Amino acid sequence: TEVIEIADKCDTIYTNLWAKFEDNERFYELDFKGDLNLPVKPIDYAKQAIILPTARANIDTFTDNIALDNLRVFVDAKGTSKRAKEEQEMMRKTFLAIAWHNNINADISPFRVGGKYFAAHGLSPFRVMYSPDMWPDKPEKKKFESDEDYAVAMDKWRADVSFTIPVTISAIHPRNVMPDPENERKLYVVERYTRMKFDVSKRYPHWGNPENRTTEQECIFADFWDDEYRCLLIDGEPVLKGAGGVVKHKYGCLPYVFIESGLGNHSYDYKPEKRYVGINTYLQDLLVSESKAWSIRDIVLMQQSWPWMYRTGPPEVIKQLPDVDQSYGSVQDWPQEVKLVQVTPQVP
């Protein structure tokens, strides 16, 4: 019940920020033709609108200028002894290996994805978790398998285990994460996302499906974490095996890291929509104006370049005439009683 109350409170606090995130995403996808307000009557000029890729270029260039390929790791030594320095170097190499392993095994680098969130929304959340499913399964000796074949399988398994690092670093979309809004040192995080009911039933077969979702419908996940406990709700039903669905996760800390762009403002009213600001957040009016000006110029240029005409004369004769051939050097027979009137638009 307390987890549901916290999630509902965060929903209220982050509503305005989410609207900004959605606008940031819309502008990055160049989906703002409707904002140009081009006339649709008597001619639908909105269909001729041109959206310039400036919003996209801003974010991609920003991301390209973040040094994502040369990750550096610093570890503080726990003492001045030789052993402490050896431990320091071992931990540094271990953390580099974890980052390298996540970078090469992901479909797209989580650091690249996080860098884009950083530029677009001013907030880049990362989740770092132990993933036991990444360990390769230990082979079991089959009924008619020879000792030699089993030894080969075991050697391969040992080699696979030695190259497996079961730690995942994931860049989480900031729209899906609600950090503690009232404390600078975040005491809890709620991650909210959706998954198809089919996948949920496979992962959590004991889940009761309280909303009676069909196979293709999506379920709402609310994943609550603090530095000691975790509670996962699916459509409001806890699914982790523990008292009330709350379990100790044994990480000793929140498995989330939040990196801010610093483009926002720690305002006196502590509004998250003022704190988390992307590079385009306050440029949207200018981006609309730029595309609108380009669109109008293009439309006006076409009108000036190709003047239009109309014909006057007996209707019965006009109906029998073909379209006017305006190609270079063309000659066309024309009835004397029908006149062509060319309309030349005014130069703006």
Cα torsion angle, 278, 221, 7, 12, sign: positive
Torsion of CA 112, 33, 53, 272, to 10 degrees: -40
pLDDT at 348: 67
Could you state, in chain order, the average pLDDT of each consecutive group of 10 residues for the chain (348 residues)?
Answer: 83 92 96 93 89 96 87 89 92 90 87 94 94 84 82 87 86 93 87 90 88 89 92 90 86 92 88 94 96 93 80 89 85 87 76
- Residue 25, Cβ density class (10 Å: 0-12 exposed, 13-18 middle, ≥19 buried): middle
Which residue bears the tokens 């609600």? 178
- CB contact at 8 A, 225 and 247: no
Rounded distance between C-alpha atoms, residue 113 and residue 143, angstroms: 47
Q: Give residue-wise pLDDT tens across range 71-117.
A: 888 999 999 899 999 999 999 998 998 888 888 888 889 999 999 99
Q: Which of 5, 22, 12 is nearest to 188 (CA)?
A: 5
Rounded distance between C-alpha atoms, residue 99 and residue 84, angstroms: 23
- CB contact at 8 A, 309 and 342: yes
Share the mean pLDDT of the chain. 89
The neighbouring-strand residues paired with 238 are: 233
pLDDT at 223: 92
